[in-house]
Structure 1
Amino acid sequence: MLPKFALLGNPIDPLQALEEGMTVSMKKELADIALNAAKSKGATYADVRIGRYLNQFIVTRENRVQGVSNTESFGVGIRVIANGSWGFAASNNVTREGIAKTAERAVAVAKANAKIITEPVQLAPQQGYGEVNWKTPIEQNTFAIPVKDKADLLLKVNSIAMQGGANFVNSAILAVNEQKYFASTDGSYIDQDIHRIFPTFTVTKTNKATGKFETRKSLSSPVGMGYEYLTPTPESKVSGIVTRYKDRYDILEDVKNATIDVDQKLKAKTVEPGKYDLILDPSHLWLTIHESVAHPTELDRVLGYEANYAGTSFLTLDKWRSKNFQFGSKHVNIVADKLQKGSLGAVGYDDEGVKCGEWDLIKEGVLVNYQAIRDQAHIIGLKQSQGCCYAQSWEDVQFQRMPNVSLQPGKDTLSVDDMIKNVEKGIYIIGDGSFSIDQQRYNFQFGGQTFYEIKDGKIAGMLKDVAYQANTQEFWNSCTAVADARDYRLGGAFNDGKGQPAQSNAVSHGSSTARFNGVNVINTARKI
């Protein structure tokens, strides 16, 4: 995915990322020009997004730096409603004249679209907030850390892996800063400064005698934080079979553990297919949540708007209207939000100027809601948007995008050790791996990074070639326990794709370790 990210802007010197961009007062002046131009041409609603998007990617392999990319993208996107239809236009000419022409072009697009619409846009009401701002609460701006320091850290990661016997290792740090200004005819002028970071590596070892190899990826998570994410504290460690991390991340300790894990994976016995009770770590479960819960509760998928590319959803409106569709067991409580500190989705306001919040998707196993934006809210009887509208850049139109979607911790005191000691035949899975899921987000298969056999309540050694299969409803109904909040951690993705033209957004999924009984496990190395 690196080439795609690298194309989102023009190359710059790393120090240019620290220069202040356009002042807020100038952005407000330009936004008012756009709003007035749109209204003068017949728009009944308009919003303006002036954005500066910074990306930095440092990629290494073994003892060398493979590449450093620093990009900047700056421009304006204007969305309007005219004659009951949406129109959108964007430009990198962010001048008084350029922004007025862009607004006029957006209205012209709306009027052209209006000739073929079957019903006018119904936009949920939204109060204006006046002039407000929001910033990711970072301690260290990743872009302010010298490139050499970050490259040296990655090379040290690689060196530890090679000293531990790795044949191959690559590592990277990805950093994003979105400086976004939003204004609308509702009366909002919102300035936001959003930061994200993703440190990662992959370690590979080979068995020269057999020619086989095993890998282990980092157990880091992309987060909405600054460089402080890479300065671990004793409180950031979660002890267990494999050390995991919450809030902060120790990349040097993780790579050391990874070299040991790949040795064990090479020697591990292959799994016997059958029914197992699964203990799923948050570093693994986030991806299952993402694919089988977060995607099918996107309202545009439910309505078929994404059928041509991203697919549809088995969670059709009739299931929601029944008010008793048993998505999962009583232990399954899943919340959508754009508020969690440190999460990728955390912002103060979405790209429609809606103040962000949280809401239930699954309550005690029952489907209770979806993810909706301003022009979708009326479809499910909402009086206002849920604040989950997003565009990957100024030149892309904003549309419904996934917020953070997370499994809530169990209410009773329950540790991972407590879970394991009650399992007779099971597998403990850590880390995300390969996956496959159908276009309705129903039938699926998931792998992982490391797998541990559980026999009579104890860990009996490592397994390999493990994947589990289920459909979404039977899987979540097999959930029999969720560990308490002490174990809660975030996972996530930097690049979740959707839409045509395609866009990418970053999203987190939190959970505590959870148990699922009687899940079908297959051996991925055996031919059917």
Structure 2
Amino acid sequence: MKRKDFIQLSAMGLGALALPKFAFGNPVDPSRFLNDGIDVKVKKQLADVALNAAKAKGATYADVRIGRYLNQFVTTRETRVQNIANTESFGVGIRVIANGCWGFAATNNVTKEEVAKAAERAVAVAKANSKVKAEPVQLAPQQGYGEVSWKTPIEINTFTVPVKDKVDLLLSVNDAALKGGVNFVNSAILAINEQKYFASTDGSYIDQDIHRLFPTFNVTKIDRASGKFETRKSLGNPVGMGYEYLSARPQDKVTGIITRYRDRYDMLEDVRNAAIDVEQKLKAPSVQPGKYDLILDPSHLWLTIHESVAHPTELDRVLGYEANYAGTSFLTLDKWKSGKFNFGSKLVNVVADKLQPGSLGAVGYDDEGVQCGQWDLIKDGVLVNYQAIRDQAHIIGLKHSQGCCYAQSWADVQFQRMPNVSLQPGKDPLSVDDMIKNVEKGIYIIGDGSFSIDQQRYNFQFGGQVFYEIKNGKIAGMIKDVAYQANTQEFWNSCAAIADKSDYRLGGAFNDGKGQPGQSNAVSHGSSTTRFNGVNVINTARKI
């Protein structure tokens, strides 16, 4: 999957096809999703077989992941259902260290005999790798937790909701859009349940039940006279929640120029607003290029955080492990070692975490059996840390992993993946309205759009969904064809104000791609509405 594909599944009619192949598994009847799968006692027995077989063949460390992955994708267009996919994938992945090197093997034949054989293959792979190793793996110490469990705190399991109810919701969303005057609309509900059991020679036996949900739509309106068209995507988020996310409450609504949502989502209201937005976008004047103060809504800023903060602080990227596929990072180790690299203004505080309720990255333990937590990446504008896992921790002087290891399925080896990375809200009371009052010449940007960023995550360009011009502290009306350009350090040093915690919201990516062979993971990024001064804005409709 191309990295740019992660933003959203813009062609929702082909939405299921845009997801990683592992997500499909074997087609099953949706009633199977309500089965509990194999008993946790049986999982422990299978895990012990693998661990003992690996140690018997010479492994000094081994871990086992028994995974059951359930996926449901319901996609519609206008008045019809395009696709309903229900899949299940089940198998075992075994990772070992032998002769100082990693080895990995997997099987979907989940019997004691086949699991033992897979463990032996993993050791054989490690020993083969050891013949060309530069230095042995240095694994940060990790305590064993014994038998523990963790579950996404959901209220309604999405898989218990009948497919008909999901179809009815999506078709009602489409109907509302068509009645609002749009020409085309597609919508989808994507649901994932990862049932993961982890065991290791450190003495952990961890059972986790992880749920994610992504309701989304895209509307298009055409001006028949000119042939021009405008689009607007859903402002809902992919979330680490159950179906309750689609039942918005009064306290979840953030009203203003455009209606947004905090913890839950009203899909019908959003699509009605989207129909109005595309009508206004068709009539809106094109932006005049120049320097503007930008007011960036969390529905937009999450993507800028993802690309310009979260990716460049991945330690494997910093070390060059990703250079062949998706670039490196300008945040090299010398900048971190100096202890004073000026990443942004003093208002910029960015935290990595795997705990925030409702976020896509929230789990109790990562795929190395490390209990998850939080840590600073940028503190008062200064680079202070990276994202590291067990075999990277020693490189930056850590005595433990930060718990951000992940594999997209039982068939893939786990490696360093991005945790939730979020800009912290302002400490002083500040509303969005108050922020706008202080802007003489600016643009208020809502929703994520197209983007481009270089291989070091330094020079970039970002678009959006909806744009409002600000003149002398007031909203002057909608404009279009807006994108801003900057480099990462310049941009974050232009951060001049951040709204307080009452405005804090999450955005995120359901399938962020990385690695060769490629894998996807889900991650959220939070912020409050934020102001950036003097940013270069271009007109995307003008020919150069």
1:16 corresponds to 2:56: no
Q: 1:117 aligns with which of 111, 127, 133?
A: 133
1:163 corresponds to 2:179: yes
Match of 1:323 in 2: 339
1:214 corresponds to 2:227: no
**Whole-Å Cα distance in 2 between the matches of residues 57 and 386 of structure 1?**
32
1:51 corresponds to 2:67: yes
1:274 corresponds to 2:290: yes
**Whole-Å Cα distance in 2 between the matches of residues 202 and 29 of structure 1?**
47
Q: Partner of 1:496: helix, strand, or coil?
A: strand
Given that residues 428 and 451 in structure 1 are in contact (C-alpha distance below 8 angstroms), is that contact kept between their aligned partners in structure 2? yes
Match of 1:389 in 2: 405
Residues 6 and 323 of structure 1, relative CA distance in 2, 3 Å threshold: closer
Note the C-alpha offset of 1:428: 0.1
1:350 corresponds to 2:362: no
**Whole-Å Cα distance in 2 between the matches of residues 150 and 465 of structure 1?**
34
TM-score w.r.t. the length of structure 2 is: 0.97
Q: 1:180-207: CA deviations, max 9, x gaps?
A: 0000000000000000000000010000
Note the C-alpha offset of 1:3: 1.3
Note the C-alpha offset of 1:165: 0.4
Q: 1:341 aligns with which of 357, 368, 372?
A: 357
Q: 1:112-147: CA deviations, max 9, x gaps?
A: 000000100000000000000000000001011000
Q: Partner of 2:42: helix, strand, or coil?
A: helix
Q: Partner of 2:202: helix, strand, or coil?
A: coil
**Whole-Å Cα distance in 2 between the matches of residues 114 and 315 of structure 1?**
31
Match of 1:434 in 2: 450
1:3 corresponds to 2:17: yes
Q: Which residue identity is paired with 2:211?
A: H
Unaligned runs of 5+ in 1: none
**Whole-Å Cα distance in 2 between the matches of residues 526 and 197 of structure 1?**
38
Given that residues 6 and 69 in structure 1 are in contact (C-alpha distance below 8 angstroms), is that contact kept between their aligned partners in structure 2? no
1:172-321 counterparts in 2 under 5 A?
A: 172-321=188-337
Match of 1:448 in 2: 464
Match of 1:38 in 2: 54
Given that residues 70 and 87 in structure 2 are in contact (C-alpha distance below 8 angstroms), is that contact kept between their aligned partners in structure 1? yes
1:514 corresponds to 2:523: no
Unaligned runs of 5+ in 2: 1-14
Q: 1:379-423: CA deviations, max 9, x gaps?
A: 000000000000000000000000000000000000000100000
Note the aligned Cα RMSD (angstroms): 0.6
Q: 2:164 aligns with which of 144, 148, 158?
A: 148
**Whole-Å Cα distance in 1 between the matches of residues 518 and 309 of structure 2?**
21
Match of 1:87 in 2: 103
Match of 2:147 in 1: 131
1:465-480 counterparts in 2 under 5 A?
A: 465-480=481-496
**Whole-Å Cα distance in 2 between the matches of residues 260 and 368 of structure 1?**
44
Given that residues 292 and 534 in structure 2 are in contact (C-alpha distance below 8 angstroms), is that contact kept between their aligned partners in structure 1? yes
Note the C-alpha offset of 1:20: 1.4
Given that residues 6 and 71 in structure 1 are in contact (C-alpha distance below 8 angstroms), is that contact kept between their aligned partners in structure 2? no
**Whole-Å Cα distance in 1 between the matches of residues 20 and 447 of structure 2?**
27
Q: Which residue identity is paired with 2:499?
A: A
Q: Partner of 1:159: helix, strand, or coil?
A: helix
**What is the number of equivalent residue pairs in this alignment?**
528
TM-score w.r.t. the length of structure 1 is: 1.00
**Whole-Å Cα distance in 1 between the matches of residues 20 and 486 of structure 2?**
37
**Whole-Å Cα distance in 1 between the matches of residues 119 and 221 of structure 2?**
56
Note the C-alpha offset of 1:6: 6.9
Note the C-alpha offset of 1:103: 0.2
**Whole-Å Cα distance in 1 between the matches of residues 69 and 326 of structure 2?**
25
**Whole-Å Cα distance in 1 between the matches of residues 120 and 412 of structure 2?**
17
Note the C-alpha offset of 1:288: 0.1
**Whole-Å Cα distance in 2 between the matches of residues 10 and 327 of structure 1?**
46
Residues 150 and 522 of structure 1, relative CA distance in 2, 3 Å threshold: same
**Whole-Å Cα distance in 2 between the matches of residues 2 and 463 of structure 1?**
33
Note the C-alpha offset of 1:4: 4.5
Q: Which residue identity is paired with 1:429?
A: I
Given that residues 20 and 520 in structure 2 are in contact (C-alpha distance below 8 angstroms), is that contact kept between their aligned partners in structure 1? no
**Whole-Å Cα distance in 2 between the matches of residues 80 and 428 of structure 1?**
51
Match of 1:503 in 2: 519
Given that residues 6 and 55 in structure 1 are in contact (C-alpha distance below 8 angstroms), is that contact kept between their aligned partners in structure 2? no
**Whole-Å Cα distance in 1 between the matches of residues 485 and 77 of structure 2?**
34
Given that residues 202 and 217 in structure 1 are in contact (C-alpha distance below 8 angstroms), is that contact kept between their aligned partners in structure 2? yes
**Whole-Å Cα distance in 1 between the matches of residues 455 and 252 of structure 2?**
37
1:451-462 counterparts in 2 under 5 A?
A: 451-462=467-478
Note the C-alpha offset of 1:7: 3.3
**Whole-Å Cα distance in 1 between the matches of residues 127 and 520 of structure 2?**
28
